[in-house]
C-alpha cells in the first residue's frame, strides 16, 4: 500500500516536471530582448489666433451697470458676426461690490465681461480687433496650433517615429550579430503641442489716442512638436 502511494507521488512529480518544460522553453525564447527608443520632431506653425477683449465698468446701481455692460457686449458681438471665418465665444462675466474706505459699506458695483475671438485668418481678426478696441479693452492675444493642423502633424510624425524605431532596431540587431528581429511591444506618444501661446496684452497704441482703429502687427511663430517610439524587440540569433 505504501509502495503504491510512493509510486503515485513520483509519477505525479514526473508529469508535473514534463508539463513545465514547454513553459521553460518559451521563456528561453525571449532572452535576447532589448529596449529601444526613437524620437522625431518638427516645427509646426501656430495657425490659430485667439484674442480676448473685455469691458469693465462700475456704477452704484447694479441693474444699470449690468444693462450698460450688456449693451457694450451686444454691440461688439453684432459687429464681430459681420466678419467671416471668426469664431465667437463669450468668456467670463463677473461683478463684485466696491466698499468704502473702512471696508464696511458698499458704495458701488464693478462688472467685467469678456469676448473671445478665434480665427486662422490673422489679417481679418487683427483688423476686427483694432475696430473693437474703440469700445473694448485688450485682455490678451494668444496663438495656438489648430486641431486639423495638429492631427495632420501627428499622423506624419507617427509614421516617421515607426520608421526611426525600425532603423534603430535593425542597427541593434546588426550590432549583436543577429539574423533578424521582431517587435515585442511598441508605444507611441506625442508631445509639444502647447496651450495657446500668450503674448503681451498688446503691441499697439491705445485706441483712444487715435480716432482711426488700430490694426496690431502679429507674429504667431512656431512650436516644436515631437513623437517618441518606446518599445522592445527580440533579436533572432543565427
Q: What is the pLDDT of residues 5-49, one digit of tens each?
A: 544 444 444 444 444 455 545 555 557 899 999 999 999 989 999
∠ CA 190-195-200, nearest 5°, is 145
Instruction: Summarize the confidence of residues 151-178 as an average pLDDT.
Output: 94
Q: Are residues 100 and 13 in the same domain?
A: no
Q: Which residues contact 87 (CB under 8 A, 6 or more apart)?
A: 117, 118, 119
Q: Are residues 13 and 97 in the same domain?
A: no
pTM: 0.67
Q: Are residues 20 and 117 in the same domain?
A: no
Has residue 127 been placed in a domain?
Answer: yes
Helices (H), 44-176: 62-80, 122-132, 147-176
The pLDDT of residue 193 is 61
Q: Which residues contact 135 (CB under 8 A, 6 or more apart)?
A: 55, 72, 75, 76
Has residue 87 been placed in a domain?
Answer: yes
Q: Are residues 21 and 76 in the same domain?
A: no
Query: Is residue 125 predicted with pLDDT exceeding 80?
Result: yes
- In this structure, what C-alpha cell is assigned to residue 106? 458698499
Has residue 97 been placed in a domain?
Answer: yes
End-to-end CA distance of the chain: 53
Q: Are residues 83 and 113 in the same domain?
A: yes
Residue 74 domain boundaries: 48-144+199-221
Confidence band of 182 (pLDDT split at 50, 70, 90): very high
Nearest 5°: phi and psi at 111? -135, 140
Cβ atoms within 10 Å, residue 195: 7
Q: Are residues 114 and 20 in the same domain?
A: no
Q: What is the 3-state secondary structure (H, E, C) of 183-199?
A: EEEEEEEEECCCCCEEC
Q: Are residues 93 and 206 in the same domain?
A: yes
Q: How many domains does the chain have?
A: 2
Q: Are residues 88 and 128 in the same domain?
A: yes
Confidence band of 61 (pLDDT split at 50, 70, 90): very high
Amino acid at each position: 500500500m505504501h509502495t503504491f502511494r510512493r509510486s503515485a507521488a513520483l509519477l505525479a512529480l514526473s508529469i508535473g516536471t514534463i508539463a513545465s518544460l514547454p513553459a521553460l522553453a518559451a521563456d528561453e525564447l525571449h532572452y535576447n530582448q532589448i529596449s529601444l527608443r526613437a524620437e522625431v520632431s518638427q516645427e509646426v506653425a501656430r495657425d490659430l489666433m485667439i484674442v480676448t477683449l473685455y469691458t469693465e465698468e462700475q456704477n452704484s446701481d447694479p441693474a444699470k451697470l449690468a444693462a450698460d455692460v450688456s449693451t457694450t457686449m451686444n454691440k461688439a458681438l453684432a459687429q464681430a458676426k459681420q466678419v467671416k471665418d471668426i469664431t465667437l465665444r463669450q468668456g467670463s462675466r463677473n461683478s463684485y461690490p466696491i466698499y468704502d474706505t473702512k471696508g464696511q459699506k458698499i458704495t458701488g458695483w464693478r462688472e467685467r465681461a469678456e469676448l473671445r475671438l478665434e480665427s486662422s485668418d490673422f489679417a481679418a481678426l487683427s483688423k476686427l480687433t483694432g475696430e473693437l478696441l474703440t469700445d473694448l479693452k485688450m485682455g490678451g492675444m494668444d496663438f495656438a496650433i489648430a486641431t486639423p493642423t495638429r492631427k495632420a502633424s501627428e499622423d506624419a510624425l507617427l509614421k516617421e517615429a515607426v520608421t526611426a524605431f525600425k532603423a534603430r532596431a535593425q542597427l541593434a540587431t546588426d550590432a549583436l550579430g543577429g539574423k533578424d528581429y521582431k517587435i515585442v511591444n511598441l508605444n507611441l506618444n506625442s508631445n509639444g503641442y502647447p496651450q495657446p501661446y500668450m503674448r503681451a496684452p498688446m503691441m499697439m497704441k491705445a485706441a483712444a489716442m487715435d480716432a482711426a482703429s488700430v490694426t496690431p502687427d502679429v507674429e504667431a511663430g512656431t512650436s516644436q512638436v515631437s513623437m517618441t517610439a518606446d518599445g522592445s524587440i527580440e533579436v533572432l540569433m543565427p
